[in-house]
Amino acid sequence: MIRIQWSRKMFTIAAAMIVLAGVAGLMRPKPFSDSGLSAQWQCSKTAGFLVTCTHQRS
């Protein structure tokens, strides 16, 4: 059986990668409907507070 000794640097890098993956999951845009805009607008909320809307041309 092969054992890997984790150095402090390797552990820090692995922990940082896990944290960044979690943050990336939260940053995914989530679509929602804005009642103040017409149906031609597509809005999404990123990270819970950043709202972007794009006009959908037909």
Interval 5-47: pLDDT, tens? 879 999 999 999 999 988 877 777 777 776 677 778 888 877 7
Q: How far apart are CA 45 and CA 48, in angstroms?
A: 6
In a domain, residue 2? The reply is no
Domain that holds residue 36: 8-55
Dihedral Cα 11, 17, 23, 27, nearest 10 deg: 180
| pLDDT for 58 | 65
Q: How far apart are CA 51 and CA 45, in angstroms?
A: 4
Contact between 24 and 46 (Cβ < 8 Å) = no
In a domain, residue 3? The reply is no
Number of domains making up the chain: 1
Considering the entire predicted model, what is its pTM? 0.45
Q: How far apart are CA 37 and CA 55, in angstroms?
A: 10
**Amino acid present at 51:** V
| pLDDT for 14 | 92
